[in-house]
Amino acid sequence: MNHDPDPHYNVAIIGAGPCGATAARYAAEDASTILIEKKKTIGVPVQCAGFLPKHDELEELMPDADLPDTFHYPASCVQTRTKYQRFIAPTGDSKEFDVDADVLDRKRFDQYLAEQAVSAGADLRIGTRVTAINGNTIEITGMWGSHTITADVIIGADGPHSIVAKAAGLPGVEDDPMGVAHAIAYDMTGVKIDNEAIEMHFGRNFVPGGYAWIVPHGKTSANIGMGIRKAMCEPGVTSRDYLHRFIEEHPIASEKLKDGKVTSIIAGIVPVGGAPAKTCTENIMIAGDAAGHLIATNGGGIPTAMVTGKIAGETAADTVNGKCTVNAYESRWRSEIGIQITTSVYVRKLMDSMMRSDPMMTAVMNMISPTHMKALQRGQLPDTVKRLLQGMQKRMG
């Protein structure tokens, strides 16, 4: 089999996660497309807990978005299903609300998305790293040697350390220390948990500037992790220190987790500062985590990555077919999910001040109804909650 890539493509997509694979799936329908992934195995290593709300929930989360058909994935991609989200205040008080969701097997899910891209006609190159981008020219090296290819349009779906964004001179998503969360998580077995609920724990001693999660994987297995901002941490205390403290010392969680054994470690950067003012140039687009396309209040990035990946792939194909220019991408993604991303950042900033005080955070959680709590974690801000948070923020000075 000849693994050498063709020298020229209409569209080149860097990164084969949910965003890049979705972009390739839609671009390949109307344009010659190459999908480049530096990992030797799609979906490995896993870099998130895999929580994905069901289709009806996603329609409520992103009511203006044209959802990709790849959200209808096979049952083999699902580890388990959950029915609730439960918020646990620093005092241990809890509230829950209904959320029908799947916990994905991310390896299988990502491979399914890549298979859909290949079925649509995309040329997939795994184990291949982009070493340089200059205009329309891309230097790649990997399992089948080093090559130079060209592309009319380039899509960067290569995460928060995006080489595509840097090559295009687009703003990075890592410049604001309060806009970058460091996530660390363990897959554990032998834990005693509620398999129907996602738990989110708050408290400065255990998870400053964020939350800790317990995501069931079925039976006695779960993903336990947290996302925190270093600017809100104790000096000299690492994210791993906080995770161990949560597992071993938290008055509620430790009872569930004390007999658990770690089977894998997950770590990564979560950009929660929102999208930059500009996400495309004359021939380049960035999408997904590379463009800060996630819900800042919960760090969830799979749905928004797939929506913006679809928009990027369709815009790229439309561009090479003379239907629009790359600049159409900016208005397209903002009209579909821009308000959700912007509002979630505003809510996150409001909540940051609450998180600096456990009594204040507990008071907020006690005063907000489960319905409004669900809205907040989606990045939505009902007027009554907005007035409450703004009032409490003023009292805190």
Residue-wise pLDDT for 106-133, tens only, equals: 999 999 999 999 999 999 999 999 999 9
In this prediction, residue 308 carries a pLDDT of: 98
In this prediction, residue 396 carries a pLDDT of: 67
In this prediction, residue 90 carries a pLDDT of: 94
Most confident of 294-303, 305-314, 367-376: 305-314
In this prediction, residue 76 carries a pLDDT of: 96
Secondary-structure class of domain 8-72+106-176+272-344 per CATH = alpha beta
Please write the tens of the pLDDT for every residue from 266-281: 998 999 999 999 999 9
In this prediction, residue 2 carries a pLDDT of: 55
Over its C-alpha atoms, the chain yields an Rg (Å, rounded) of 21
In this prediction, residue 198 carries a pLDDT of: 96
**Mean pLDDT of the 167-177 span:** 81
Confidence check: pLDDT of 140 > 60: yes
**Mean pLDDT of the 296-307 span:** 93
Q: What percent of the chain has pLDDT over 70?
A: 98
In this prediction, residue 144 carries a pLDDT of: 85
Of the candidates 349, 339, 362, which has an alpha carbon nearest to the alpha carbon of residue 390? Answer: 349
| Extents of the domains making up the chain | 8-72+106-176+272-344, 81-104+180-271, 358-396
Per the CB < 8 A criterion, the answer to whether 193 and 253 are in contact is no
Q: Looking at 60-74, 155-169, 173-187, 305-319, which range is the least confident one?
A: 173-187
**Mean pLDDT of the 39-65 span:** 91
Q: At what angle do helices 370-377 and 383-396 cross, to 10 degrees?
A: 80
**Mean pLDDT of the 231-249 span:** 94
In this prediction, residue 155 carries a pLDDT of: 98
Please write the tens of the pLDDT for every residue from 216-235: 999 999 999 999 888 889 99
In this prediction, residue 117 carries a pLDDT of: 98
Entry pTM = 0.95
In this prediction, residue 178 carries a pLDDT of: 78
**Mean pLDDT of the 62-86 span:** 96
CA–CA separation, 203 vs 206, rounded Å?
Answer: 6
CATH superfamily entry for domain 81-104+180-271: D-Amino Acid Oxidase, subunit A, domain 2 (3.30.9.10)
Between 384 and 125, the more confident residue is 125
Please write the tens of the pLDDT for every residue from 278-291: 999 999 999 999 99
Q: What is the mean pLDDT of the chain?
A: 93
Confidence check: pLDDT of 6 > 60: yes
* 391 Cβ neighbours under 8 A, 6+ residues apart: none
In this prediction, residue 397 carries a pLDDT of: 59
Q: Looking at 144-158, 174-188, 283-297, which range is the least confident one?
A: 174-188
In this prediction, residue 124 carries a pLDDT of: 97
Banded model confidence at residue 378, pLDDT cuts 50, 70, 90: confident
Banded model confidence at residue 80, pLDDT cuts 50, 70, 90: very high
Between 209 and 35, the more confident residue is 35
